[in-house]
Copies of this chain bind each other. A is one copy, B any other.
Amino acid sequence: MNTPSFRNWQSVQDEVLRRIHAREWAPGDLIPNEADLAIEFGCARSTVNRALRSLAESGLLDRKRKVGTRVAAQPVAKATLDIAVIRHEVEEHGAKYGYQLIARDIAIPPLSVSGAMKTKADDKLLHVRALHLADDEAYAIEDRWINIRVVPDAEAEMFQSVSANEWLMKHAPYTHGEIAFSAAQASTGDAEIMGVAENSALFAIDRLTWDSAASVTKVRLLFTPGYQLRTGL
């Protein structure tokens, strides 16, 4: 072999990528083991490991203990999205952030909410609806249920000037959660609040977070038409 030596894991990664692209290593193929690649590339085995790990994280390689590393047969692209506090997201776009509370009450939620949050059907939760604005225009409607058994401090908070979105991010961290992205038609009420046509296509983010076994909060964010969530691949 006439391979030049590789100094860092990025150059090893580039060479591995080149072989996958050139189909010298085809989808499903087992590639040489790390020790052999380290010898071929004239680098440390840990350098090869770092490069293969990175390619496995992007879904181009499948690594199985004892079996070895294969070129992914069904490559999956992975996109990582940053889910920021809405105020920060608006300000990062250079716009002026605004906030309006629409409603706040303590109520028994619909069964779809208590079911998802695994609260008792007759447990009262804190319900907050608010409008986030960018340059005085509607940006997103937040419709949120908060489990006040898990976040008792929220009960004292009126959410008049700070959104639940921002307050919870600071005061009620979660250990894990679920997030879903979809499209939804604007209801008459939401369309009116946003100042958009009824049935407009809105980008929706539904998020449910947990602190160990108990749910913290369930929120639906509806963004005004034109909103895009972007990231690199």
Closest partner residue, chain B, to A14 (CB atom): B175
Per-residue B-contact encoding for A185-213, CB less than 8 Å = 1, 0 else? 10000000000000111111001010100
Report whether B225 and A183 are in contact in the complex, using a CB–CB cutoff of 8 Å: yes
Please measure, in the bound complex, the distance between the C-alpha atom of A59 and the C-alpha atom of B178, giving whole angstroms.
16
A156 contacts B by Cβ under 8 Å: no
Closest partner residue, chain B, to A208 (CB atom): B233
- Of A36-44, A71-79, A110-118, A139-147, the one contacting chain B is A71-79
* Among candidates B21, B85, B227, B233, residue contacting A209 with C-beta atoms closer than 8 Å: B233
Known contacts: A225-B183, A232-B177. The answer to whether A74 contacts B88 by CB under 8 A is yes
* Among candidates B59, B179, B230, residue contacting A79 with C-beta atoms closer than 8 Å: B179
Per-residue B-contact encoding for A137-181, CB less than 8 Å = 1, 0 else? 000000000000000000000000000000001100111111111
* Among candidates B78, B182, B201, residue contacting A80 with C-beta atoms closer than 8 Å: B78
Closest approach, in angstroms, between the C-beta of A200 and any C-beta of chain B? 7
Closest partner residue, chain B, to A211 (CB atom): B21
Residues of B within 8 A of A179 (CB): 77, 79, 230-233
Closest partner residue, chain B, to A84 (CB atom): B76
* Among candidates B76, B82, B184, B201, residue contacting A78 with C-beta atoms closer than 8 Å: B82
Count of chain A residues with Cβ under 8 Å from any Cβ of B? 53
Known contacts: A173-B75, A204-B183, A225-B183. The answer to whether A178 contacts B230 by CB under 8 A is yes
Residues of B within 8 A of A227 (CB): 182-183
Known contacts: A20-B173, A179-B231, A232-B178. The answer to whether A79 contacts B80 by CB under 8 A is yes
Between A74, A174, A181, the greatest number of chain B beta carbons within 10 A of the residue's beta carbon is seen for A181
Report whether B83 and A74 are in contact in the complex, using a CB–CB cutoff of 8 Å: no
* Among candidates B21, B82, B202, residue contacting A201 with C-beta atoms closer than 8 Å: B202
